[in-house]
Amino acid sequence: MNKHGIDPIVIPTDTDETLSGNPSMTEAVEDLSHRKALACYEIIKSDRELSKQYAGHIIIGADTIVYTDRILGKPEDADDARHMLESYRGTFHYVLTGISLIDSDSGKSEVMSDVTKVWCINYSDEDIEDYINREEPYDKAGAYAIQGYFGRYIDHIEGDYENVMGLPFYRIEDILKSYK
């Protein structure tokens, strides 16, 4: 957001990210992003002072997942990260980000998502071990950051690079302009 001239106000929420049923990858990220934005909206609306302070603001909730043959979130441990990284080797996977925007005054919301196909080179077991011994994989969906050390293992992408980083700004840019 800063890169695009927006200095966001971050309001952390404690949002349940458990997925129930068998949602598609798109349904999952859109639902998760909406839950996060809605939790923030409810925090603001439940407090008169916050409601006044954030009048006229747009709440943006986002969530990113990686999809191979199943939805992958953040790795639980080194073994989980290893399995994720092994599944990408020499092939492709999808990175999806769900975005939910809520008008802080009216509660009107818009939900969308973006998908990027990411192709990885055929890296070695040693490359995986080296990578999982770093701190980078453990707080990232799919156990990697394209903009970080793992970027050396990306062959190419089909879609938006910023989506893989976690927020496809081009998807929300026109909507934000319409609120001005």
Cβ pair 138, 76 in contact under 8 A = no
126 vs 82: CA distance, rounded Å: 11
Residue 73: CATH number of its domain: 3.90.950.10
131 vs 136: CA distance, rounded Å: 8
> pLDDT at position 180, please?
60
CA–CA distance from 158 to each of 42, 54, 64, 91, 97 (Å)? 36, 37, 17, 13, 14
Q: pTM of whole model > 0.85?
A: yes
**Identity of residue 61:** G
Q: Known catalytic residue: 63?
A: yes
The total number of structural domains that make up the chain: 1
- If residue 167 lies in a helix (H) or strand (E), which one and from where to where? none
Catalytic residue among 63, 69, 80, 160: 63
Give the domain extent around 105.
Answer: 2-178
Q: Please give the average pLDDT of every successive group of 10 residues along the chain, which has 180 residues.
A: 83 86 92 96 94 93 93 93 96 96 93 96 97 93 94 97 90 76
> pLDDT at position 173, please?
85
Cβ pair 89, 119 in contact under 8 A = no
> pLDDT at position 14, please?
87
